[in-house]
Structure 1
Amino acid sequence: MANYTLEEKDSFTVLGIGTELKSNYTDYAGINKEKADFWRSVNEDGRLDLLKSVATNDYIFVVNEAVNNKMMHYAGVMTEETLSEASRVIQFPKGEYIVVKGEGKTAEELSNKVTGTAFGEVLGEANHVAYVGGPNAAVVMGQRNGLVYGEMWVPVVRK
């Protein structure tokens, strides 16, 4: 059984800069390349730093959300502010969330690891809850001992 907790969270808002993922949802290599290219771009062109400048904390949100039948991927921060460069205000609902903690050498490795654990293991094993859609996020929280640490937050409902 994968290690996870169920946590009650208040609703919160993430301001995101995003991209549409064009790869088939089963093409993990294609999706991961698109995500890596996107993160390289927002780091290099300063958009991530711009988002960080309005954040209410140091967390970076790696958000996945289906919008109008499109797979969307966002770099985001928790904030009540808006920016013209941002492409979406993402509302996370109040309720229970599966939380998977993890570490990685990079933010990308952390995100891939906790996302894989949450969707590839936990949701299949935790038969008392279900993911019914909506935004989910890998949350990059900081660094310690040379590793990036954080959590995956997936909103769920009781079955």
Structure 2
Amino acid sequence: MKNYTLEEKDSFTVFGIGTELESDYTDSAGINKEKADFWAAVKQDGRLDTLKAIATNDYIFAVNEAVNNKMMHYAGVMTEAEASVTGETRVIQFPKGEYLVVKGEGKTADELSNKLTSIAFGQVLPEAKNFAYVGGPNATVEMGQRNGLVFGEMWIPVVKK
């Protein structure tokens, strides 16, 4: 069963509030806990609502990006504005080009993100013969809810091998 597609996307911009992930990149349990703690904080303190208020659509982005040799994680939205929020903010440019798209659903946004990340980086990319991820920002995109589940996609820019 093919659990992904390759899609051409126009460039787009995400405005995000970020945190540096301190766990080693191979420590998925540590990374997942840091991300869950970060999301709980931005939901509780209202920063996520501030982002949603300037969004051009209903998508919520969980962006991973290496910035200045730091592993960063952002809560973000597509927007043409910037919000005044506390924390490290960044305008994240996603390039025009081909993207690996993995679709899925989970009971929570965290479960969705963890599941899509595991499929993309644990299964699809290691087995890919025609394309590769060469860095740059990647994102889990929470697109909505249906039948009591959160659904969305993971978008990873790739190049042909």
Q: Which TM-score band applies after superposition, normalised by the shorter structure?
A: over 0.9
Structure 2 residues without counterparts, runs of 5 or longer: none
Q: Which residue of 2 aligns with 1:95?
A: 97
Q: How many residues align?
A: 159
Q: Which residue of 2 aligns with 1:135?
A: 137
TM-score by length of 2: 0.97
Q: For 1:115-153, what per-residue CA distance to the aligned partner results, in whole angstroms no more than 9, with x for missing partners?
A: 110010111122100100000000000000010000000
Measure, in 1, the Cα distance between the counterparts of 2:108 and 2:115. 11
Q: Compare 76-85 and 144-153 and name the one that shifted more.
A: 76-85
Q: Which residue of 2 aligns with 1:11?
A: 11
Query: Is 2:82 aligned against 1:82?
Result: yes
In the alignment, residue 126 of structure 2 is paired with which amino acid?
G
Query: Where do 4+ consecutive residues of structure 1 move more than 2 Å?
Result: none
Measure, in 2, the Cα distance between the counterparts of 1:48 and 1:152. 19
Structure 1 residues without counterparts, runs of 5 or longer: none
What's the C-alpha RMSD, in Å, of the aligned pairs? 0.9
Q: Which residue of 2 aligns with 1:69?
A: 69
Measure, in 2, the Cα distance between the counterparts of 1:41 and 1:3. 32
Measure, in 1, the Cα distance between the counterparts of 2:29 and 2:126. 22
Q: Percent identity?
A: 79
Q: How far 1:84 moved relative to its partner?
A: 2.5
TM-score by length of 1: 0.98
Q: How far 1:2 moved relative to its partner?
A: 4.6
- After TM superposition, list the pairs within 5 Å mapping 1:5-154 onto structure 2: 5-85=5-85, 87-154=89-156
Q: Is the 8 A contact 1:2 1:117 kept in 2?
A: no
